[in-house]
Amino acid sequence: MEKSNVLRSFHFFREIFAQVARKYPEVEAENLYVDAAAAALVMKPEHFQVIVTENMFGDILSDLGGATIGGLGMCPSSNRGDERAYFEPIHGSAPDLVGKNRANPLSQVLAAAMMLDYLGRKKDAALMDLAIWRALEKGLFKISPDGRVEGGAKSVTSALQAELERCYQEGKS
């Protein structure tokens, strides 16, 4: 995602993206201007698998995407290089939540599942994902419209631990 039709500096970004994309012909790549991408992200989010952009537009689009699924507390991320990777939630810290027992740890847990997948522990990652989605479907914890959780990380941890154990037991049988 870029804005080379307005900002000349993005022509370089677009050229580099095209060069890298040509090295991976099996991966479908397309160029979208960031404003068109923002609209498509709301109207057809399933269209996107990976979004490649620079930091400012990435920050804006990640906030937009997070808002469409319940807030930034639901969004993990990964930063991957040729030899190393790190995984984290896309949100920043929440000093306003300290001591209030309302923080939503799901983005961290989802980032951990992504890390397990990256490390080749695909079954563990799938079990973690399944436990998260089952806990959400069952309403085992309540997420407010602003993305915060009643009971905070403790309630989410308890629910996920119980669901993960159920999923693990099902997988053994």
pLDDT in tens, 96-153: 888 888 888 899 999 999 999 999 999 999 999 999 999 999 999 888 877 788 888 8
Q: Residue 84 is which amino acid?
A: R
Q: How confident is the model at residue 165 (pLDDT cuts 50, 70, 90)?
A: very high
Instruction: Convert the pLDDT of each residue in 42-82 to its tens digit.
Output: 999 899 988 999 889 988 998 898 888 877 788 888 988 88
Give the domain ranges of the chain: 1-68, 82-173
pTM tops 0.85: no
